[in-house]
Each structure stands twice: as structure tokens, then as C-alpha cells.
Amino acid sequence: MPNLTRVELAQAARNPLAFIAERWSPSPRIVQRAILASLVMNTAIVVTGGAVRLTGSGLGCPTWPKCTDDSLTATSEMGLHGVIEFGNRMLTYVLCAAVAWAIIAARSQKPRRRSLTRLGWAQFWLVMGNAVLGGIVVLVGLNPYTVALHFLLSTTLITVATVMWQRAREGDDAPRPLVGKAVRQLVWVLVIASAVLVVAGTAVTGSGPHAGDSSDVPRMFFDPETTSRVHALAAWAVVILTLALWIILKAMDAPQGPLGRTRDLFVVLMAQGLIGYVQYYTGLPEVLVGLHMLGSCLVWIAVVRVVLAMRERPRDSVGLPTQATVPLSRV
């Protein structure tokens, strides 16, 4: 980088994003990859957070923001649990770096797309909020309701990251529907059923045996057997709705985008359902529970992508392909 004048250094200090954007114009592919990296990290930290709970390391660092009252980091006396818990905390900084990279890339793209940058900042503040909530989870001794809220806020963060990733591959024109109103309404019913499925999953976790620590941690008052059955019923509802949506889209000869995203959701649901039933009948082994948490994130990402696939925002100037719009009279 050439030597900077005092004026340029002052400008960089006042508004570093604008300073970088004046000197860097990333390609659309770089922007998309930066945003995808944030989505991957958002998912990864959910899985590593699950590993903390499943290894009983939730109170490996018994306080927050320090690991102990006297140490910012884990100590040798705390053993493996301290290493696992502190390691997961450190991954928050990696996630922050990934989100920051996405914000910088989106802000520097030409022409400037404010909507994309706003989604990046939404990710940042959600990460900050969830970090604080994670500290509260530790301070209240892994209260299962705060743990559930921690997971649901992570799901919200994944939602924003998925939307941002999709928007990076679109233009800024007003969205045009690819399907009719009745199909869009069915999709929102699918979203609601999927949200119920995710929330029911937190109840299964909160009332189940994996409390996150080897000590006596209170559990939710729900009966684990009953919550598991409710969760299974919600899963079957989502599967049936997804299959019905795919059949309708196929019958109306819908564009490949909606068809492909619906098919992807069905495949992920089948894999997630298989893991769910195997873990249930094998006594909830930790490895399968961890895979099921990953599957929960992938299911939700697939649901969000189905919603976004029902419309298009073509923009020829960025070289994006335009899907053929199905006549609404056929729906």
C-alpha cells in the first residue's frame, strides 16, 4: 500500500469502511464467497456450541466474560471442559471476523448496495447480542430456557446470513413472484410449521438428559417423551407440506429455482428425520445429537431458500441469470 498522507489517515480513522471501499472493488464472486463464509461460520458455531453441551463443558468456564474470576483464559486446573468451553468462546471472534469480512466486501462492491450492507450489520449486532446472551446462560447456570433462547437467536442469525447470501446473487429491483398467491401462502404455512419444529426441538433438548454440565442442572418441566412425540409430529407435518409443495410446483411446470430448492429441502428433511429416529431409539448418543443439531440448521437454511426461490430479482448489469416467470394464470 502506498504511503498515506495525514488527511488520508484521518479519513481512514473516521470511516474505515468508506476508506477501503474507495480503494477496493471486489467482484460479485468475492462478495458472495465472503457472505457464504459468514453463513458457514454461523452454522459451525451452533455445532461447536452443541459440542460444549454434549461433552458436559457448559460450565467449563464458570463465569463470564472471564473464564474464572481470576483468569481471562482457561487454566490447566480446569481440564478438558475448560478448554472446550473457552475454545467455543474464542470461535465467536472468528465468527465476528467472518461477518466483518462480509460487511467490508458488501460495502466495497460497485455500485454500492445499501440493502446488502444493512444485512451485514444486522448479522453483526445479532452476533453481539447472542454473545451477551451466551454469557447470561453461563451466569444463570445453564438455565434451559436461556439455552433454548440462545439457540433460537442463532437460528435468527442464520436466517439473516442466508438472506444476505441470496441477495448477493440478485439485483436490487423489486421482487417478481414466480408462483401464484396460493402457492406462496402454502410456502408460508411451511415456514410456520418449520418454526414450530425448531421450537419443539429446543423443548426436547431442554427436557432431555444432555444438560450441558456434569452437575445437577434444572431441566424444562415438559415430559421428554411427550415433547419428542410433538417434535416428530411437527417434523412429519413439514415433510408432508414440502412434498405437497413439490407436487404442486411440478404440476404447474414451475421454474427450476422453486422446484430445485423444494427438492433440496425434502432431501435434507429425510436425512434429518433418519438421524432423529436413530438417536431416539439408541438412547440419544452424543454424536447423533450433534449431527441432529447440524441438521436443524441445514433444514432451516433450506426452508429460507425455498421462500426466497419463489420470487426473483433479475439484474442484467451484474451478469445474473434471469429465470423465466411462470404465468400466474396457471396457478
Q: Do 105 and 253 fall within a single domain?
A: no
Count of domains observed in the chain: 2
In a domain, 2, yes or no: no
End-to-end CA distance of the chain: 57
Which pLDDT score is estimated for 323? Answer: 41
245-301-289 Cα angle (round to 5): 110
The DSSP-derived string for 190-240 is HHHHHHHHHHHHHHHHHHSS--SBSS-----SS-HHHHHHHHHHHHHHHHH
Q: Which of 152, 169, 186 is the last residue of a domain?
A: 169
Q: Do 164 and 20 fall within a single domain?
A: yes
Q: Do 153 and 179 fall within a single domain?
A: no
Structural Rg of the chain based on CA atoms: 22
In a domain, 280, yes or no: yes
Q: Do 202 and 112 fall within a single domain?
A: no
Which pLDDT score is estimated for 329? Answer: 35
Q: Do 264 and 281 fall within a single domain?
A: yes
Q: Do 91 and 25 fall within a single domain?
A: yes
Sheet strands (E) in the chain: 176-177, 311-312
In a domain, 8, yes or no: no
pTM for this one? 0.89
In a domain, 52, yes or no: yes
State the helix-helix crossing angle for 114-139 and 79-108, rounded to 10 degrees. 160
Q: Do 214 and 164 fall within a single domain?
A: no
What's the pLDDT tens digit per position in 199-233? 999 999 888 887 787 677 888 988 988 999 999 99
Which pLDDT score is estimated for 107? Answer: 93
The 3 state secondary structure assigned to 154-193 is: HHHHHHHHHHHHHHCCCCCCCCEECCCHHHHHHHHHHHHH
In a domain, 107, yes or no: yes
Domain of 126?
13-169
Which pLDDT score is estimated for 4? Answer: 65
Q: Do 144 and 186 fall within a single domain?
A: no
| DSSP bridge partners of 213 | 57
Residues with pLDDT less than 50, the chain: 1, 317-331
Q: Which of 147, 169, 191 is the last residue of a domain?
A: 169
Which pLDDT score is estimated for 23? Answer: 86
